[in-house]
Structure 1
C-alpha cells in the first residue's frame, strides 16, 4: 500500500470555500449567529492593529471591514476604544462627518471640536468616558470665562480681561452649550454604530431646553413703512419678496429666472447661494428636503419682478462685454451673483435711511410668518410656505403668536357665552361694537 493511499491528498477544489485576497482579512460566522470580520488597519503612532467588526450577515461584516481598510489605505489611522477621544474626534471629522454634512456645518463642527471638545475632553479614553465626565466638563464650561480660557486678551491692542486682572465674564450662551453638547452626541453616536463603545454616554446628560433666540418681527404698520422705503431701491423686488413670502436669504439669492413662472405666478425653490471655504460663493442644495418647494407668488411681487427684469436688461446693455451672465434673478450691476454679506449691508442701510428700527434680515422671514398667523392662516400652510421640515418647528418658533391668538379666541367665545340680559342692562359707552358684529373664527 502506497503512502498516497494511506494519506490521501487534500482536495484542491475551491468551490466549497471562499478565498479572500491577502490583506482582505478573515470572515466567519460565530456560534451566536453573527458574522465577524477581522483585519489589520493603520492605528495611532504609525502602527498596524488587528480589529474586529460584526454584522448580522456576512455582507454587513465584509462592508464594515472594507470601509475601515479603505480609510486605513488613505493614511487615516482608525481609532479604537483603547484610544483617546481626541483621536476618535479627528477620525470622525476627517473621514465620516466630511461626507455627511454640508460644508458650512462641517466647518462649525470642526470649530467646536477644536475650541471646546479637544481642550476639555480630548485626553479622556474613549472606552472609559462616562456621563459624569461629560456633565462635569459641561458644568465647568458653563461657568468658565472663554476670554481667559482661550487667551483672547493677548491678541487685543488694549487688554480688558485676564491680562489686567479683571475678568470680563464672557461665558457661553445656553444655545452654544447645547450646540457643543449635540456635536459630542453626534460623534459618540457614530462610535456606537461602529461598535467602538457600547453606549452613547453623552445622551445620558441632560442640558435642559435653552430658550429660543428672540426675534423682533415687524408689525403690520412697520411692514407697510418698510415696503414704502424700498421704492426706488435696486433690490426693492428682493426685499418685497422676502417680506411677503418669508424666503431665506440664501434662497432669495439663489433664485434663477428659470425658477420663476410669472405667467402662472409661482416660484420653485431649488437651491441656496452661500459662501464656503473651499468653493467661494456656491449654489448648494436647500437646507432640508422640505425646503425644496414650489410657492405661489403674491400679485405685487409679480409686478415688481417684471420691473426688476426690465431693469436688469438695461444693466446688461450698459455693461456690454463686461456682463456676467450668471442667470440669477438678483445680481450686481455687472450680472455677478450677490454676496450674503453685501445684501445685509444694503438692508441695514435701508433701515437707517428710512429711520426704521434695526432688525436682522432673517426677521423679515419671521415677520411674514407672524403676520400670516395674525390673519388667521392655518399653521400647515405657513409650514409649507416657509419650507420647515416638520410642523412642530413652525409651532415651536411661533408659539407666542399662537398664544396671543388663543387669548383673542377665548375673548370672542366669552362674548358669545355672555348672558343677553347682562348685555342689555350694561350701559353702552359707544366704544365697543355690538356683539352680533363680533367676528367668530
Structure 2
C-alpha cells in the first residue's frame, strides 16, 4: 500500500493555499495560486515552466514573498509607458520646471532607447547594469546622428568616429533619474523593489574649476570699467551670487542705505513661460547679504545710468523693476550675459572660464583671506556647511605653505632664533590682513 510519505514530493496533493500545478495542451507546465497584491488584497497569479518542477519552484517563490508581506508587482506595461506616466503625472508637480525639462530630455535621449521596451515588472539589476555599460561605451554622435544632421558632416557620418561618449557625471545623472522613477513605482506598489539601487556606479569626480586669482580678478574688474553692466560683474565677484540670482534682483530687494541685499528669486528661461522669475534654488538660498562699499557705489551709478536710459526710451520703456536690464528695461537673458562676460575676458586677456566660476573665485579668495567657512556658507546660500567644505576642499599652495610654516614655528626649538625665510613679497602669516 502506498502512503503519502512514499509519494514523490512533486506528485503529492497540494495543500490548501499552495496553488495548483498542471500541464497545458502545448506541453508547458502552469502553476497558479493566490498572492498578496497592492492594497492588502489577494489575486491569482500564474507562472509557467518547461517542467513541473520549474513551474512549481516559481510559484513557491511568489508565495514565499507573499507570506513575508511583499505584494506582487501589478505593473503590466513597459518601462517606457511608466516613465511617460511618471513624467506627465508625478514629476511635473514635484520638480522645478527647469529640472523637469532636464529629466524629460534624459528620458527621451537615453532611458527610452535603452530600456523602454522592457517590461517594468521584469526589469532586473542586470538589465540596468548592462544598459549603463553599453551607454558608457557608445558614441553619442553615432547613436543620435548628430553629425548626420549637419549641413557638412565632419566625423561619424563620413566614417571617422569622434568617440563622443558621455561623461561620468552625465552617466550618474541618468542613473539617478531612473532611480527616482523606480522609487516612485515602489511607493505605489507597482514593483516590489528598486532594482536601479542595486547597481553601483561609483562616485564620479567633481568637475574641476580654476577660479580667478587675486591678480586675475583685479584685471577682470579693470576690464569691466565703462561697461553698462559693470555693477553686475563687480557684485558677482564680491558676493558670489549665482547668475539667475543677479538677473533676478529688483530695486526693492536692495537697501543701499543700509548696505544689504535680499536674495528672493532667480531669473530663468522655461519652456512654458519663457523668461520668468522662480523661487531660489533651495530654501537656504533665500538670504540677506551685506554689500561691500565698492558695490554700493557701482549700484548707485548704475541706478543713475538706468534712469537716463528710461528717459531716452520714453514710451518704449518696459518697467520690469529689475536692477539689471536691457537698454529698453526688459530683463536680460542668461545667454546674453554670458556673451558679455566672454567678451570682457578676451578684453582682459584672461583664460576662458564659466560665469559660474566667478562664484567659485569669490569663495576661494575669501578662504585665502582667512574668512571662516560658516561665513562663506551664509554668503553663498549653501544648505549645509558640508556642501561648502566639500566644494572648496582644495587649498591653494600658498595656504598649504602657510599652514606648514605655522606648524614649523610651533615645533621649533626655543633656543633657535624665531626667524622665517623671507619670500620677498609676502608678509608673515600672523600679520596678514583680512580684507
- For Structure 1 versus Structure 2, the TM-score category normalised by the shorter chain is 0.7 to 0.9
User: Using the alignment, how far apart are the partners of 1:80 and 1:122 within structure 2?
Assistant: 18
**Contact 2:402-2:429 within 8 A present in 1 as well:** no
Shift of 1:440: 8.6
2:99 is matched with which residue: 94, 101, 105? Answer: 105
1:439 is matched with which residue: 412, 430, 433? Answer: 430
Gaps of 5+ in 2: 1-35, 43-72
- TM-score normalised according to structure 2 size: 0.79
Shift of 1:416: 2.2
TM alignment of 1:162-201, pairs within 5 A: 162-201=156-195
**Contact 1:85-1:123 within 8 A present in 2 as well:** yes
Paired position in structure 1 for 2:361:
367
Q: Deviation per CA, 1:85-128, whole angstroms, max 9, x where unpaired?
A: 11100000000001111111111111110111011011111111
User: Using the alignment, how far apart are the partners of 1:86 and 1:321 within structure 2?
Assistant: 52
User: Using the alignment, how far apart are the partners of 1:199 and 1:212 within structure 2?
Assistant: 30
Q: Deviation per CA, 1:313-336, whole angstroms, max 9, x where unpaired?
A: 111111111111100001111111
Change (3 A) 1:431 1:149: closer
User: Using the alignment, how far apart are the partners of 1:145 and 1:111 within structure 2?
Assistant: 18
Moved more, 187-196 or 356-365: 356-365
Which SS does the other structure have where 1:281 is aligned?
strand
Which SS does the other structure have where 1:264 is aligned?
coil
Shift of 1:411: 2.5
Change (3 A) 1:429 1:242: closer
2:251 is matched with which residue: 252, 257, 262? Answer: 257
**Contact 1:145-1:169 within 8 A present in 2 as well:** yes
User: Using the alignment, how far apart are the partners of 1:416 and 1:163 within structure 2?
Assistant: 65
Q: Does 1:237 align with 2:231?
A: yes
Change (3 A) 1:207 1:404: farther
TM alignment of 1:217-228, pairs within 5 A: 217-228=211-222
User: Using the alignment, how far apart are the partners of 2:343 and 2:421 within structure 1?
Assistant: 47
**Contact 2:240-2:358 within 8 A present in 1 as well:** yes
Paired position in structure 1 for 2:119:
125
User: Using the alignment, how far apart are the partners of 1:249 and 1:206 within structure 2?
Assistant: 34
Change (3 A) 1:404 1:251: same
Shift of 1:357: 2.0
Change (3 A) 1:403 1:429: closer
Paired position in structure 2 for 1:325:
319
Shift of 1:80: 4.7
Q: How many aligned positions are there?
A: 366
Paired position in structure 2 for 1:146:
140
Which SS does the other structure have where 2:148 is aligned?
helix
Q: Deviation per CA, 1:339-394, whole angstroms, max 9, x where unpaired?
A: 11111111111111222222111111000000001111111111111111122211
Paired position in structure 2 for 1:409:
403
Tell me how large the CA RMSD over aligned residues is: 2.5
Change (3 A) 1:178 1:335: same
1:280 is matched with which residue: 274, 282, 295? Answer: 274
User: Using the alignment, how far apart are the partners of 1:93 and 1:403 within structure 2?
Assistant: 47
Change (3 A) 1:351 1:129: same
Q: Does 1:208 align with 2:209?
A: no
**Contact 1:380-1:391 within 8 A present in 2 as well:** yes
Q: Does 1:306 align with 2:300?
A: yes
Which SS does the other structure have where 1:275 is aligned?
strand
Which SS does the other structure have where 1:213 is aligned?
coil
Q: Deviation per CA, 1:264-315, whole angstroms, max 9, x where unpaired?
A: 1110000001111110110011111111111111111111111111111111
User: Using the alignment, how far apart are the partners of 1:258 and 1:429 within structure 2?
Assistant: 52
Shift of 1:165: 2.5
**Contact 1:412-1:440 within 8 A present in 2 as well:** no
User: Using the alignment, how far apart are the partners of 2:353 and 2:116 within structure 1?
Assistant: 39
User: Using the alignment, how far apart are the partners of 1:430 and 1:253 within structure 2?
Assistant: 46
Which SS does the other structure have where 2:134 is aligned?
helix
1:87 is matched with which residue: 81, 86, 97? Answer: 81
User: Using the alignment, how far apart are the partners of 1:430 and 1:267 within structure 2?
Assistant: 42
Change (3 A) 1:131 1:159: same
User: Using the alignment, how far apart are the partners of 1:431 and 1:136 within structure 2?
Assistant: 56
- TM-score normalised according to structure 1 size: 0.78
